[in-house]
Amino acid sequence: MANISKTLESLEMQTTLVKKQPSSLKLNFLKEIGSNKRARYSLFFLLLVILIGVFAPLLAPHDPEKPYYEALLHGPSKEHLLGTDSIGRDLLSRLLYGIRATLTAASIAVAITFTIGTFIGLISAYIGGIIDNILMRIMDVLLALPTIVLALAIVAILGPSLANAMIAVGFASIPGFARITRGAALTIKSSGFVEASRSIGSSHSWILLRQFLPNIGGVLLVYTTLFIGVAILDTAALSFIGLGAQPPTPEWGTMLAEGKNYIYQAWWLATFPGLAITSVVFSVNFLGDALRDMFDPKSMGR
Amino acid sequence: MGQFILNRILSGIIVIFGISVFSFLLIHFIPGDPVKIMLGQNATPEAIKQLNENLGLDKPLLVQYTTYITNVLQGDFGTSLKTGRPVITEILDRFPETVKLAAAGIFIAIVIGITLGIIAARFKSSFIDSGVMMLATLGVSIPSFWLAILLIMVFSVKFTWFPIAEGTGLRDLVLPAVTIGVLASTMISRLTRNGMVETLSNDFIRTARAKGLEERIILFRHALRNVLIPVVTLIGLQMAALLGGTVIIEQVFNWPGLGTLAIGAISSRDFPLIQGTVLFMGVVYVMINILIDVIYGIIDPRIDLSAKEAR
């Protein structure tokens, strides 16, 4: 299968990315991020969001699950800065607590994608031959289904819950990630030093962990970052259609689904959770783009 | 050429076979007794036994798969547990609505994407360029369902120009199609811009400029044509992805397409219907992919279709 869409972008970057010196990845990495304005700003914003999520109990003005029956569907006011929902819960507090669900879901989903995707990609590229063929055929089959459909199918098996939604989103992104890893790893394989290592008796696992991984680190970092954005969007989407986080859990997708029922009376309910998702995903993607420029000078300024 | 098409069809068939195995296995991945889950808490033992027999779940896997695939090849995707109608009828009832939505969305995406891409490339490195690229990043960051809600709040609630989730007429089509179009346009505009910037730095463009040609002619006649091939491919792929990817948008607008069908099936644990929609979406995606590859080869003579290394 020609999965042109998935490879369009990655193709050109793999070739240049991979050839960068491994040492520049480790030592100058933080320095490079620090010197890049876009990366710095987006990282700062994301760290801030994470901190707010961690300290939500201290920062939230109200209990996110406590209904104020005297304040149903109240608009933004001094008491409730972003208004209240249909059973009088404070929207701002729910939003702050929602960071936890959103970021946990995204990190677990991406952890699944990264671990299994990298493993399959590396094994496929390194061993090659029939193993490579079988693994990539399976990936092709899964890539033939849109990610969200694949995630839906997995949720259908596991049943709707936030935990299952993150597992589904994580697994659904594996085929794409495995293909990217394989593509990057193949260019390492064809360079001479792997063969040289083998000839002096290095073990397979040493080569994979010490030679492949660090060298494709740049590609993996860029794509992992971009996949975080996708994971946040997809888990929120699953929650939105009722197949992810279940009420009364404060989760942004679920909150939007609730807000959708009150668009006539309470615009704030369907506005602020969306704004929250968009700003977080936007800064993740912004960071991803900045990283891509840093690790792929060829695409810079294009 | 013939050889190439044959190869593409063969590999397509392999993938479709894989999808059929995947959709078949779905029911077997369910933890616990799938029949009990499908029928719910209050199922009588007779009903459970009956469904077990109907689905053939008591037979060996290979036998089950053979029966499944034989039926599918004859157009029998099973029966919906909820409505009792054949799965294929349910799907074919909904499919045209999804095609309608995806086609309208892609049309809007093409208009917005190519226009913005050309403008950004024309004013490369200016604030217009960075503005358009910023919009493109925003487009991949905004949840589709939120954009949909925002459009509803502005154009249906505030201005009441368009109805909310009523039917499938032209006026109902506008908002969901715009949502899809705006989001799908982001990749098109990026690709168009990058392609245009690259093409505009070529020698033949400098020659054209030196000849004193109008900028308009250079942009549209000389540059755009060169950029269109990858853009057309991307559009085709997006079209294919959209046929399954309108799921969430359909849900927001209550659009009676494949997406709402699939979500409904999952919520009511109607597994024959889930299997059917997954298989159907996969097959459609593969077929469109093959079509794109073939068309791609025809419109770009530089591609040697017989070359094996090209894939």
B174 and B112, same structural domain?
yes
B positions 162-191 inside 8 Å of A (CB): 191
**Mean local confidence (pLDDT), A132-154:** 87
- Which of the residues A4, A134, A164, A169 would you substitute to probe the B interface, choosing the one with the greatest number of B C-beta atoms within 10 Å? A4
- Give, as one character, the DSSP assignment of residue A211: I
B113 and B59, same structural domain?
no
Cβ atoms of residues B251 and A18 within 8 Å: no
- Closest-CA residue of B relative to A2 is B311
**Mean local confidence (pLDDT), A276-291:** 92
Other beta carbons within 10 angstroms of residue A7's beta carbon come to: 15
pLDDT at A16: 44
How does pLDDT run across B149-191, given as a tens digit for each residue?
999 999 888 887 887 766 777 788 899 999 999 998 988 998 8
In degrees and rounded to multiples of 5, residue B78 shows phi and psi of 95, -175
**For residue B311, is it within any domain?**
no
A positions 183-242 inside 8 Å of B (CB): 229, 233, 236-237, 240-242
The overall average pLDDT reported for chain A is: 83
B303: confidence class by pLDDT, cuts 50, 70, 90 = low
Which of A99-108, B49-58, B270-279 shows the lowest mean pLDDT across its residues? B49-58
- Give contacts of A256 with chain B, Cβ < 8 Å: 143, 145-146, 149
B63 and B26, same structural domain?
yes
pLDDT at A6: 41
- Give contacts of B252 with chain A, Cβ < 8 Å: 260
**Mean local confidence (pLDDT), B284-307:** 71
Q: Look up the CATH number of the domain holding residue B144.
A: 1.10.3720.10
What ipTM goes with this model? 0.84
Of B125, B145, B191, the CB nearest to A237: B145
Q: How far is B241 from chain A (nearest CA, A)?
A: 6
B129 and B40, same structural domain?
no
The residue behind tokens 């950029």 is B227
Across A77-81, B6-10, B147-151, the highest mean pLDDT is recorded for B147-151
The residue behind tokens 């409730």 is A80
B244 and B170, same structural domain?
yes
Please say which residue of B40, B73, B106 terminates a domain.
B73
Class of domain A44-63+81-299: mainly alpha
- The more confident residue out of B309 and A204 is A204
B168 and B133, same structural domain?
yes
**For residue B189, is it within any domain?**
yes
Position B34 pLDDT exceeds 60: yes
Position A114 pLDDT exceeds 90: yes
A positions 271-290 inside 8 Å of B (CB): 271, 273-274, 277-278, 281-282, 284-286, 289
Of B194, B285, B311, the CB nearest to A145: B285
Q: Do A8 and B30 touch (CB under 8 A)?
A: no
pLDDT at A70: 80
Measure the CA–CA gap between A256 and B175, rounded to whole angstroms.
18
- Residue B125's identity, in one-letter code, is S
Position A17 pLDDT exceeds 70: no
pLDDT at B285: 85
B162 and B29, same structural domain?
no
**For residue B285, is it within any domain?**
yes
A positions 151-190 inside 8 Å of B (CB): 152-153, 155-158, 160
B241 and B118, same structural domain?
yes
- Please report how many Cα atoms fall inside a 13 Å half-sphere around the Cα of residue A129, on the Cβ side: 3
Measure the CA–CA gap between A77 and A61, rounded to whole angstroms.
13
Across A142-146, B83-87, B234-238, B295-299, the highest mean pLDDT is recorded for B83-87
A27: confidence class by pLDDT, cuts 50, 70, 90 = low
Helix, coil or strand: residue B86: strand
- Please report how many Cα atoms fall inside a 13 Å half-sphere around the Cα of residue A175, on the Cβ side: 22
B49 is in which domain, residue-wise?
A: 2-73
Task: Name the residue among B273, B277, B232 with its Cα closest to residue B258.
Answer: B277
B202 and B161, same structural domain?
yes
- Residue A19's identity, in one-letter code, is K
Longest CA–CA separation in chain A, Å: 77
Q: How far is A75 from chain B (nearest CA, A)?
A: 16
Q: How far is B211 from chain A (nearest CA, A)?
A: 26
* Total structural domains within chain B: 2
B68 and B200, same structural domain?
no
Measure the CA–CA gap between A62 and B153, rounded to whole angstroms.
28
**For residue B79, is it within any domain?**
no
As given in the structure block, the two tokens for residue A124 are 């496929």
- The more confident residue out of B276 and A188 is B276
A204: confidence class by pLDDT, cuts 50, 70, 90 = confident
B104 and B162, same structural domain?
yes
**For residue B68, is it within any domain?**
yes
Beta carbon pairs, A and B, within 8 Å: 157
A122: confidence class by pLDDT, cuts 50, 70, 90 = very high
